[in-house]
Structure 1
């Protein structure tokens, strides 16, 4: 589980990252430590502390995701560790398809 926020700035950071990170797709990340990671979003987990300790309202939030890089490495990334993120699905889809990580299926009904 991602770290819980401890300040208003961290809450705002998670909200900002939610706008930059798609629910599905290929994302390029720059982490706070300067490391760069690119991968296919495999899982997202977000939550609050609402209900814990008798508190009915959330006062702290957490968010993390797992991405798989083109070379098969799974990365668990805490949103608080992300400096920036961008959706690169349209540019990198073919490469991830060729690596066997993505299959594109046409679900259109050709008989219509």
Structure 2
């Protein structure tokens, strides 16, 4: 389901005019699901998916303070490693809810989420 969610998120971003630069970028501090470009802004995208079964809470609830810290640290490391100089960046969250059968039910794109 995670890969399916990331694929749906990438399709959404491309449809909105973003360019996908990286998928599942890893480093010692963690992993970034998607890294995209939005008109010169580097966007780090955390994708959270859930099935609509009524258990485990919403995908939004799964982005807790610990996860936010991890994404921030990993994004900072990416910027350092890529030697990004001038330019803006932000962190977005895309939450996806699938039906119990795996069909896309809802996609929510939270820009500049934290």
Normalising by the smaller structure, the TM-score range is under 0.3
Report the structure number with the largest CA radius of gyration: 1
TM-score w.r.t. length of structure 2: 0.26
Which is strand-richer, 1 or 2? 2
TM-score w.r.t. length of structure 1: 0.27
